[in-house]
Copies of this chain bind each other. A is one copy, B any other.
Amino acid sequence: MDKERPIIVRYGEIGVKSPVVRKRFEKKLISNIKVLIDCKININQGRIFLFPENFEEALKSLKKIFGIVSYSPTLKTKTDHDTIKLAVQSYIKELVEKGEFDPEKTFAVKCRRVGEHKFSSREMAGFCGAAVIETTHAPVDLSNPDFTLYIEVRDDDTYIFHKKIKGAGGLPIGTQGRMISLVSGGIDSPVATYLMMKRGVDITIVNFNNHPFTSGSNEKIVKIYHKLKEYASGSDFRLLQVDYGEFLKKCTEEAPPRMTCVLCKSGMYQIAEKIAKQEKALAIIDGSSVGQVASQTLPNILATRYSTSMPVLSPLIGLDKLEISEIAEKIGTFQYSILPDSGCEAAPKHPETNAVLEKVLEVQEEIEMDSEVEKVLSTLHKVDLTL
């Protein structure tokens, strides 16, 4: 009886799509789960039933798969009063032993039923409640219980559980196409990348190596890549890099010093757009947040994006630094983002905060931006991930 301990997986937004889209999303969600977790899977009436080889590992891994709203480890039994009673009592005894159920505190049983049965949900809840009392003598409180036992009856099968573990939310990765994400070693861009992965997007990270204006070490970016990859089960999660130092050198030498940061950002978008075509990506992601640093003013955002026709999506644009840092800590990238680095030595003392579009376009022409973009593109390469 207690041989079968499936995990019930609930998915949310997928449920509201059209039948065709829903089917495609469900299929992708299941295949994403299978890449990460060694298991058998059934799908039935809007629920996924997971039979993992390693139960504890599976519980941990599910936390990192987008598209899942919540999940519950269960005890599966036959829909038969005597069998259910035995199962409920063995389930509760185990919880008492583990200290997860305190018979001194109040409890309630909630029952949900799918299919035709000779009993109502309320009757089954009462029946299971009596079984718990017989074992534990715990007091019942239906309106505000300290502990709730859930009974889910689905045709001939019944599932017993008491935990609903919150999933990562979002949509299955791989259902929304690919985007290029501009990722530096800072706190923000990994969070921006995570949020778009969560919305189902495949990612190609493009990192701009500013050597000799920074250390040139790939340690941070590789660590951040591996951390984010944990959430990319079922997706071809890529990391590309270009050498950007020569271009920055040209900016510092041939353009007004105030303009370096504006030209740097504008160049990134233009290069990302070209890489996007190769990668079959349809948008660019960055970590911009209005007003957070001097360069993220409205005039600068306008001027730096003007030379790019591809949409630039900035999921952090409306968030505070504190909120962004909290997400970074939660997803595990914060620890790598705060590793010390030299910062960018190409940045002027007084960067432009009020860029004038016409002036930016003029300077881009002077430094022959188009040919610079091509030069940078020719340095495109993969990064050694074994660091």
Residues from chain B with Cβ under 8 Å of A170 in the complex: 320
One of A219-227, A306-314, A372-380 contacting the partner = A306-314
Chain B residue nearest in CB terms to A290? B199
For chain A residues 249-303, which have a beta carbon within 8 Å of chain B? 282-283, 289-292, 294, 297-299, 301-302
Is A64 part of the binding interface, using a Cβ–Cβ cutoff of 8 Å?
A: no
**The one of B310, B319, B323 that contacts A302, using a Cβ cutoff of 8 Å:** B310
Q: Is the CB of A318 within 8 A of B198?
A: yes
Given contacts A290-B176, A291-B171, A311-B301, contact A319 B283 (CB under 8 A): no
Given contacts A196-B290, A199-B318, contact A282 B305 (CB under 8 A): no
Is A317 part of the binding interface, using a Cβ–Cβ cutoff of 8 Å?
A: yes
Q: Is the CB of B298 within 8 A of A282?
A: yes
Q: Is the CB of A199 within 8 A of B282?
A: no
Chain B residue nearest in CB terms to A301? B311
Q: How far is the CA of A315 from the CA of B198 in the complex (A)?
A: 15
Given contacts A175-B291, A291-B171, contact A299 B317 (CB under 8 A): no
Residues from chain B with Cβ under 8 Å of A320 in the complex: 12-13, 169-170, 198-199
Minimum C-beta distance from A68 to chain B (A):
12
Q: Is the CB of A13 within 8 A of B176?
A: no
Residues from chain B with Cβ under 8 Å of A289 in the complex: 199
Is A321 part of the binding interface, using a Cβ–Cβ cutoff of 8 Å?
A: yes
**Copies held by the complex:** 2
Q: How far is the CA of A175 from the CA of B317 in the complex (A)?
A: 15
Q: Is the CB of A196 within 8 A of B318?
A: yes
- Size of A's binding interface in residues, CB under 8 A: 47
Residues from chain B with Cβ under 8 Å of A318 in the complex: 192, 195-196, 198-199, 313, 315-316
Residues from chain B with Cβ under 8 Å of A314 in the complex: 313-314, 317
Q: Is the CB of B13 within 8 A of A292?
A: yes
Minimum C-beta distance from A20 to chain B (A):
11
Residues from chain B with Cβ under 8 Å of A201 in the complex: 290, 298
Per-residue interface assignment for chain A, residues 341 to 368, with 1 indicating a CB less than 8 Å from any chain B CB and 0 otherwise: 0000000000000000000000000000
Per-residue interface assignment for chain A, residues 168 to 181, with 1 indicating a CB less than 8 Å from any chain B CB and 0 otherwise: 01110001110100
Q: Is the CB of B179 within 8 A of A317?
A: no
Q: Is the CB of A317 within 8 A of B313?
A: yes
Given contacts A298-B282, A301-B283, contact A200 B12 (CB under 8 A): no
Is A387 part of the binding interface, using a Cβ–Cβ cutoff of 8 Å?
A: no
Q: Is the CB of B290 within 8 A of A302?
A: no
Footprint of B on A, CB under 8 Å? Answer: 12-13, 18, 21, 169-171, 175-177, 179, 192, 195-196, 198-201, 282-283, 289-292, 294, 297-299, 301-302, 305-306, 309-323
Q: Which 3 A-B pairs have the closest CB atoms?
A: A195-B318, A315-B318, A282-B298
13 further A-B contacts with Cβ under 8 Å, apart from A192-B318, A195-B318, A199-B290, are: A169-B323, A179-B298, A195-B317, A196-B318, A201-B290, A201-B298, A282-B302, A283-B301, A302-B311, A305-B311, A313-B317, A315-B315, A315-B318
